Structure 1
Amino acid sequence: MLPRIPLDDRTFDNIVQDARRGIPRRLPEWTDENAHDPGVTFLELFAWLSEMQQYYLSRVPERNVRKFLDLLGVVPYEASQAEADVTFGNVRVPVQLPAGTKLQAEDQVFETVEPVKLLPLEIERIVTRTEKETSDRSASNERGNVAFYAFGREAEAGSRLYIAFDSELEAGETLSIYVKLADGEESRAEGVVPSARVSWKSYGKDEDNGNSWQPLELIEDGTFHLMSSGRITFRVLSPMRPVIVHPAADRPRYWICCVLEEAGYELPPRIDQVLLNTARLRQRDTRSEQVVFDGSGEPNQTIEADSLLARYGQLRVQVRDADGCWREWREVADFDSDDADGEVYVVERAARRRGGTTVRFGNGVRGAVPGQGVGNIRRIHSAEDFAELRWIGRSNGLPHQKLRLYDLPVKRQDGLRIQVGVPCGKDGRLVWEDWEPVDHFDRSGPLDRHYTFDPETGELAFGNDERGAIPSFAEEPNLCVMVCEFGGGERGNIKPGLLNRWVLEEQDELLLTADNLDYGFGGAEAETLEECVERARAQWQVPYCAVTSEDYARIVMDTPGLKVSRVHVIPNYAPGRGQAAEGAVTVVVVPQGLGDTPVPSTGFLETVAKHLDDRRLITTEVHVVAPDYVKVTVHAVVVVEPHFMEEGHRIVAALNRLLAPHDKPGGVQGWPFGRTVHKGDIYGAISRVKGVAYVQDLWLDAAGKAVRKSAGGDLELPETGIVFSGAHRIELISSSQL
């Protein structure tokens, strides 16, 4: 018998009582609630049906819930891997750290996501220059505890950010800096149109053998023109030359500068730190990996790879045949040896500090030539101590085979890929088939090489030849792990200063220092079934297709990469055509900004328009526009109690709260778009201030586009209009003087 799972603990009596308590509120004309009343009989009938329904719902097993979620296209999230930014120090010579370089924080292993080039370079000075002032920000950048504006608070075109290094960069040198902004996280949203445009330059030798500011070749800008934190990589095109920037008494230094070419930031960039030799690490421990190459079909083909496992681990090379199976090739010392015929290759190893390894194939006479194809050659790198662990068992050829991988604590389904060996030929040599992980076998056919893997239990299962194929029988172990990656969970969200220990002794010999200045972020445990159900319920409330005005507002507020303050949707309205535009929708967008009247840039509006274009109805014409700000100034003569003659600032504060263009803390709501400012609203706001007796006289002034004053003195706003307070003038009169 299945255990009772109480989804709803209400009994029959509770349901009846709740329903009867709602009668006076919903149907006040219903006065007879005795048992003989037919309405009460219906209440009891539906209460009984509800109790029976929740009884059966409480017996839905977990497997059925997962099936229901699968029908909705929802699966529980796996454990996510934390990330952390690490800054390397004590760099005396240029060093190339390969992808997968491992650092350890207590018992958590982190790896570099990409190759990292470290240069013996330090930032000596940072200077910001605007039209009004020039400021040295070196101390703020070094400590990282006081943010500074990259281009000043106004962020006007022509403002500059200067960065000085302690040594020059030669022509052709590549440099990466990490810019950490105070206002936010990294934005990985695609399709974001920058609100402003910057350019990067260095002071160096020009074509006329003189010295001037020369452009840098921008390779990568993960900041979207300093709109978010991220990495910027550029190449120096001409040799750098020293110059004095600020102050005048300073010595010449090697400078690069960021010029604000086109203004338009909604939020001017504030920088916490500009960092050199900084890399992004992810909490994972790769024990085995694969790198895929295309076969050229030509003699003496070479394939090169550089990663930590490529430098310090074991190497296997496989080539795919025409039938789709992979054959293992052998490594030989050289092609002149006696055993250099057939499927062999030679490994050319570079110095471990300089690069990875190169695999060279034969020319068809000494050593075979891999065939031409897409992705038909691969290298498999694995750690030295993983050689035995990669063999996880053998197939007995029976359906529903299951294995428990006790020695492989893999937390993510994509962290495990396996191969199945199939005996071939008289000698029984194994050729390898790739198998793919799936969540279940419901959609698998008899020929699909699928398996399921549960990271929580470590159980790996195969099909039954109807739902999923059965691995081929073998006398020896033929189930081999090709890709294995550990790591994941909230323990990866480490504290600052912990990620400073190298895992491999060979890399410890580089004498480099490492430190994470901030917390790790993004690590989370696998989602439980209950959490997944709640997420699925919440997702169904999030609109994807814009149909109603509420849909448009919700979708715009969630535009990736943007910070939106307010949205106003006007149906059947188009700029220039007014309310007669059938099928048109105008969306007024207010960005987050420093002042009360932030104006969205052209890039901001384009980003919102692109986001809506994928979600609008095909027949709908969408316009995204900026708000029309209307400055409202109140002139009032107010009679107050004698002891409140010096409290005029309270009235001004009340008017500022009433005429606020944005929602503010304390329950202050922004003035509705397009709503007429009635004098009665102002009278009411002033009258509610403590100490006010009455308003003797009142008139309103307005400045803005398309605003008009009615005969009664009210201010009528356009549909896209939003008010903000001007310099209110309040004259106070003591009631004792009247």
Structure 2
Amino acid sequence: MSIIVPELDDIGYREFREESEARLPKDAPRWSEHNLSDPGITFLEMLSWLSDIELYRLNRITPKHLQKFLALLGDHYPSARASKGMIVSTEGVSSDIKIDVGTAIEMEINQRKRVFRTKNRFCGNPAKIDRIDVFRESELFISRRVDSGEIEPFYAFGEEPKEENFFRLILNGIPSKDLNLYIELDESNLPSYNQEWRDDYLWLQEHDSIKLEWYITIDDVTYWIEPKEDKSLNLRYSGMVSFTIDKPISSSAKVLIICRLKNSSYMIAPFIKNIYLNSIEIEQSEAIVERITSSGEANQELTLGHESLLDAKGSGVAIEVESGGKIESWRRVDTLQNSKEEDRDFIYDNTTQKVLFGDGQRGSIAPYGDTIICKYLITRGESGVVANRADSWTIKGFEALNFYNPRGINGAESIPSYERRFATIIERWKTPTQAVTLEDYETLAKMTAGLRVARVKAFVDKQKKNCVAVVVVPYSRGDYPMPDDFFCRRVCRFLDSRRLITTVIDVIKPIYTEVGITLHIKIHAHFDMGRVRRDSVEAIDEYLHPLRGGDDKSGWEFGRGVYVSDIYALVESIEGISCIFDISFHGEGTYDNRKKVYTIEKKSLIRSLVHRVTFEKSSLACGGAL
């Protein structure tokens, strides 16, 4: 039940004045002159007016109050989200060109200039990718030319990746010593996942069960090269793969880059959308510099001129004070309580977006007349979105280079309203952070960073003390996905920090019980038996599917048996079937004749065997067969 918010501002100026005048005969009987010209009445009117104002203020919930309430609920840092993306060069770039992190890039969006900044260091590469060849079982399977920087998407190691399959990039030109390949995967039809996996990057690299080997071939001589950084995590995600080429390459050399699969455990085969040699990751942010003359007062406050800080915590806010041509940097601290008189410290209050200085005892006072320089980054939120390809990117200091964005620059979001922030907190409260119930384990397992977990079933393992067994099924393009050991370890590692202290977690693979169904049916005249057979088998396969099956199409329920009535209701809706004479089961389960159900273990899902369909050709009438 929600709390009823009281209405405090329920009377106004007139009510205050009338009530006060009505009390005068009792509280001040000697005061007999109540005309408007009486000075006492003037004071009474003024006090009624002040009371009305105070009551109005008491009844209001100001933005400052809302921010304090949100801070109590854990929402300390309201911020806009910057649009992010990638730009690439339309041609080879000289290896002498180096662009540092944070370099400004200008772009005109809807007749407004927007400033972006680079997120990675760019090293020019004069080479271009001329052709991509894909080999399966040592045989050339695909050969595609790269036209204007675009290619037709392809499976890197096949739809079902096999060890020793590889692809190679045939370069036109000589690559620079610093070689950066941005590999973009096509993930358009895949479910979303928790993208905070990079926080655990080193552990993932050490324990990864997928092994790739990279080589460079120079004039038919092949050398092994090791990535110095692989943000794609062995082509699991879109990201940059960086190398240092320390082999001498002549100007006329033929150069190939080869990626070979040595150990495969992909849940989803990498489907490469494009590969770029000269690419820069960018985000929309602008550097703001404000110059304010110091008042020289103790506890001086300055309000920043922009709200949409790129980092709402204010960690990027820098303060400098210019005095007599000399500029000195001040230090940001969380509190001035420990600052001394000579300490040049300041506080940034993110709730009010104010910079606070000391009082001369706890923190120095910015001297009168000196110039206070405030530096910080802001983002323009949704106005920084570039929906389509654009070719007019201008990098400050490198105006001669031509860059374009092959995909949209998206992901921006303006500062959310207070209502939306409260709604987000409520939704966050509904999501467990500690695994207590079995439902908590199932919810949290699906949130494992970097994994697409399709199905989870948690239950108490009574054979082990204090043990919760968690069955996980990965998302896969295949029909019967099976996680590898690495997948299970990652889920277990994610749950381990969220379990109760005495609980033991056992993340296990699903068991698939093979089940086949035989139908004996009669069809309507003039219907094709082959088509009816195909439709029946496809309907049963889909109904029993571990990811898409069941009545709600969210996957067949763990441990649920197959009832005769389930199949009867499913098949009789297929066009062309007149009636069903018999339904029988075969496979690894057990048929309970009394309950008319084919049972499986509680940890199990169903793997369909070959389903059989036979037809009744006689004139036997329908009805009563089951």
TM-score, normalising length from structure 2?
0.78
Distance 2:526 2:6 in 1: 60
- Partner secondary structure for residue 507 of structure 1: coil
Change (3 A) 1:487 1:422: closer
Matched, 1:260 2:261: yes
* Uncovered stretches (5+) of structure 1, i.e. residues with no partner: 1-5, 10-55, 206-210, 244-251, 288-388, 574-578
Residue by residue over 1:328-375, the C-alpha shift from the partner in whole angstroms, topping out at 9 and shown as x without a partner, is: xxxxxxxxxxxxxxxxxxxxxxxxxxxxxxxxxxxxxxxxxxxxxxxx
2:387 corresponds, among 482, 490, 495, to 495
Correspondence list, 1:58-207, <5 A: 60-91=61-92, 93-94=94-95, 95-106=97-108, 107-131=113-137, 133-139=139-145, 144=150, 146-169=152-175, 173-183=177-187, 187=195, 189=197, 190-191=199-200, 192=204, 194=208, 196-204=210-218
Q: Distance in 2 between matches of 1:464 and 1:117?
A: 45
Q: Which residue of 1 aligns with 2:332?
A: 435
The correspondence of residues 300-379 of structure 1 with structure 2, limited to 5 A, is none
Residue in structure 2 matching 1:475, options 359, 364, 368: 368
Q: For 2:562, what is the secondary structure of its paired residue?
A: coil
Cα distance in structure 2, aligned partners of 1:735 and 1:691: 16
Distance 1:597 1:58, change over 3 A: farther
Distance 1:115 1:560, change over 3 A: same
Change (3 A) 1:629 1:58: farther
Q: CA deviation at 1:683?
A: 3.3
Aligned to 2:235: 226
- The 8 Å contact of residues 672 and 722 in structure 1, kept in 2 or not, is answered as yes
1:507 aligns with 2:398: yes
Query: Do the aligned partners of residues 602 and 412 (structure 1) sit closer, same or farther apart at CA in structure 2, a change above 3 Å counting?
Result: closer
CA deviation vs aligned residue, 1:157-200 (integer Å, no higher than 9, x gap): 11101111123458xx2211100000168955133454522111
**Contact in 1 for aligned 2:444/2:495 (Cα 8 Å):** yes
Partner of 2:273: helix, strand, or coil? Answer: strand
Name the structure 1 match of 2:467: 584
Superposition deviation, residue 451 in structure 1? 3.5
> In structure 2, the residue corresponding to 1:642 is in which secondary structure?
coil
In structure 2, give the amino acid aligned to 1:159.
N
Of 608-617 and 445-454, more deviation after overlay is shown by 445-454
| CA gap 1:636/1:158 in 2 versus in 1, 3 angstroms | same
Give the alignment's Cα RMSD to 1 decimal. Answer: 3.7
Structure 1: how far apart are the matches of 2:260 and 2:325? 67
Q: How many residues align?
A: 547
> Would the aligned equivalents of 2:358 and 2:365 in 1 still touch at CA under 8 Å?
no
Task: Show CA shifts across 1:251-309 (max 9, x none).
Answer: x942111110011111100000011111111212336xxxxxxxxxxxxxxxxxxxxxx
Shift, 1:235, TM fit: 2.0
Given the superposition, is the C-alpha separation of residues 137 and 496 from structure 1 closer, same or farther in structure 2, using an over 3 Å criterion?
farther
Of 448, 455, 467, which aligns to 1:559?
448
* 1:209-260 superposed Cα distances (whole Å, 9 cap, x missing partner): xx643210210001010000000001234346999xxxxxxxx942111110
8 A contact 1:700–1:714 mirrored in 2: no
> What SS class does the counterpart of residue 474 from structure 1 fall into?
coil
Query: Secondary structure of 2:443's partner?
Result: helix
Could you give the per-residue CA deviations for residues 479-514 of structure 1, whole angstroms, max 9, x where no partner exists? 233x3324341122213333633254x422xx3211
Letter in structure 2 aligned against 1:232: V
Contact 2:210 2:265 in 1 (8 A): yes
1:519 corresponds to: 408
1:88 is aligned with what amino acid? S
- Distance change (3 Å), C-alpha of 1:503 and 1:486: farther
What's 1:249 paired with?
none
Sequence identity (%):
23
Gaps of 5+ in 2: 8-56, 622-626
Match of 1:662 in 2: 547
**CA distance 1:241–1:120, change in 2 (3 Å):** closer
- Residue 503 to residue 514, structure 1, CA distance change in 2 (3 Å): closer
1 CA distance for matches of 2:582 and 2:555? Answer: 26
Q: Any conservation in 1 of the 2:542–2:548 contact (CA below 8 Å)? A: no
**Conserved 8 A contact 2:182-2:239:** yes
* Shift in CA distance, 142/130, structure 1 to aligned 2, threshold 3 Å: farther
The alignment status of 1:538 with 2:427, answered yes or no, reads yes
Cα gap change, 1:57 to 1:651, in 2 (>3 Å): farther
> How many angstroms does 1:526 deviate by?
1.3
Q: Could you tell which deviates more after superposition, 645-654 or 82-91?
A: 645-654
Whether the aligned pair in 1 keeps the contact of 2:163 and 2:261 (CA below 8 Å) is yes
Alignment partner, residue 398 of structure 1: 298
Contact 1:76 1:532 in 2 (8 A): no
Given that 2:126 and 2:175 are in contact with CA atoms closer than 8 Å, whether structure 1 keeps it comes out as no
Residue 695 (1) aligns with residue 586 (2): no
1:274 equivalenced with 2:275 (yes/no)? yes
Cα 1:136–1:659 change in 2 (3 A) is closer
Describe the superposition over 1:39-95 as per-residue Cα deviations: whole angstroms up to 9, x where unpaired.
xxxxxxxxxxxxxxxxx9985444333222222222253112222211124445312
What is the CA–CA distance in structure 1 between the aligned matches of 2:241 and 2:418, rounded to whole Å? 40
Q: 1:711 to 1:403 in 2, by over 3 A?
A: closer
- 2:595 counterpart of 1:593: no
SS in 2 for 1:490: helix
147-156 vs 230-239, which moves further: 230-239
Q: Read off the aligned partner of 1:475 and give its amino acid letter.
A: Y
Cα gap change, 1:137/1:664 in structure 2, threshold over 3 Å: closer, same or farther? farther
Q: Structure 1 395/620 Cα, relative in aligned 2: closer, same or farther at 3 Å?
A: same
- CA displacement at 1:461 relative to structure 2: 4.7
